Structure 1
């Protein structure tokens, strides 16, 4: 994954900017304290890490890609940027007060090992906030109509919600709640389904280059054909019918909030909030 994102990292900052709404939602669930120290796992070029630091919180950013980390250092030298992965962290036991992971879980090679490692470095009563999407959610993207193989490959990478819940509980974390996230029209971070309401986004090569699925060489032929079909459907108005047919209430992405509590309360019922 590091090599793949070394290449992607070259122009990653052009379109992958921290979204203000997502930043505030992370902070709402993380509940950080000014004297604490927090971990952004899979931080990439540090867009979100940097925004959290601007809010007055101390963060460490960890990523396997040296190219990404180099971009992050140029952005903010006051953050501790470290090469590493969710499965192997060069951090002491009980050394961080909280953890955030933004669109990174699908890159972990061993989700059970990763959550155990995150549990190890997290202090008691510390929170972990994961932002991701599930296979069920991704099957509801209208992108499936135009780029079926590309989406199928992307969906295959994603762990299911039950898989993540099991891994989180197995390592000893308590799941506090999950919250569905529906793409907002003014989303600033141009990740995969950012064009949900604005299909024209996908004609922008810079936006595509910042999304691993679109930038992958093996998907280029389907991307070319799919964009041609999308352009035709936009011109004749058919795209609105396609988008309407994919409307659902499953959410486009998901926040999963966990906590390292003193007792084992893993059987607590998970509260689902639909915004």
Structure 2
């Protein structure tokens, strides 16, 4: 599977904030797929994720990035230590109000906070929701953004495109599952039929996902 085939999310983040020659903290980096692009020409790039296996894979691919195990709810860094903090599709995976308080603490006074979040109605997200419905946690994250100590300077909704070579690749994609079961196949095919109708001549399979990007600053600065 190829994620975001047009690199739309990456381009949007780069349009929202200048990363070159900056010290950047990424929260929720996973295996570092976006980290390697966002870190280009930064002064220092630190990326954290709570999953140890993901961090191990990220370290093996990107030697110039400081990957660490960690969560946004309890950052190990000192107050006002980063001018740029980025949540990459991760705020809804944690207690969002706590993570935003920690980001506020660690961000410099005139720093920028970037938050990339999925919207619950996106096609790609609908397949995740088959196995663990994230609609409530996504909405909680959006509510936390709207009611936090930051001010929203800019926000935009856009879509990204995920490409699967064929139906088998789609069926065997994890979608957050710890274990892929035989009965999952029918659920995935049914959802795809609801979105696309006939499944003949649909290779590759493109799924669209709606995302929202926020640029936040501390209030009074």
Scaled by the length of structure 2, the TM-score of the pair is: 0.79
Cross-structure match for 1:165: 145
Aligned to 2:199: 234
Q: Greater strand percent: which structure?
A: 2
For residues 107-155 of structure 1, what are the alpha-carbon distances to aligned partners after superposition, in whole Å with 9 as ceiling and x for unaligned?
11x21111000110000111111111233xx2x63985xx696177232
| Counterparts of 1:143 and 1:54, CA distance in 2 | 28
Task: Describe the shift of the 1:202–1:95 C-alpha distance in structure 2 as closer, same or farther (beyond 3 A).
Answer: farther
Q: What is the alpha-carbon distance in structure 1 between the residues aligned to residue 18 and residue 128 of structure 2?
A: 39
Offset of 1:21 from its aligned partner? 2.8
User: Which residue in the other structure is 2:75 paired with?
Assistant: 89
Could you give the per-residue CA deviations for residues 166-186 of structure 1, whole angstroms, max 9, x where no partner exists?
A: 34x3xx211112100123xxx
Q: In structure 2, the residue corresponding to 1:153 is in which secondary structure?
A: coil
* Cα distance between partner residues in 1 of 2:29 and 2:212: 18
Post-superposition Cα deviations, 1:210-229, rounded to whole Å, max 9, x if no partner, equal: x31xx343x74553113444
* 2:105 is the counterpart of 1:120: yes
Aligned residue among 70, 78, 82 for 2:56: 70
Paired residue for 2:153, among 153, 173, 176?
176
Query: Is the partner of 1:126 in helix, strand or coil?
Result: strand
- CA–CA separation in structure 1 for the residues paired with 2:5 and 2:109: 28
Structure number having the greater helix percentage = 1
Q: Which residue among 208, 215, 219 is the counterpart of 1:257?
A: 215
Partner of 2:186: 225
Spell out, residue by residue over 1:205-260, the C-alpha distance to the aligned partner (whole angstroms, 9 max, x if none): 58713x31xx343x7455311344447831399xxxxx9xxx9xxx8111111112
Using the TM superposition, give the Cα deviation of residue 201 of structure 1 relative to its aligned residue in structure 2, in angstroms.
5.0
Contact 1:15–1:206 (Cα < 8 Å) also in 2: no
Equivalences, count: 213
Change over 3 Å in CA distance of 1:91–1:69 after alignment to 2: same
The 1:143/1:69 distance shift into structure 2, 3 A limit, reads closer
For the aligned residue pairs, the C-alpha RMSD in angstroms reads 3.4
Q: Which runs of 5+ in 1 are unaligned?
A: 1-13, 188-193, 238-242, 265-275
Unaligned runs of 5+ residues in structure 2 are none
Matched, 1:27 2:14: yes
* Cα distance in 2, alignment partners of residues 73 and 148 from structure 1: 26
Measure the CA separation in 2 of the matches of 1:16 and 1:42. 16
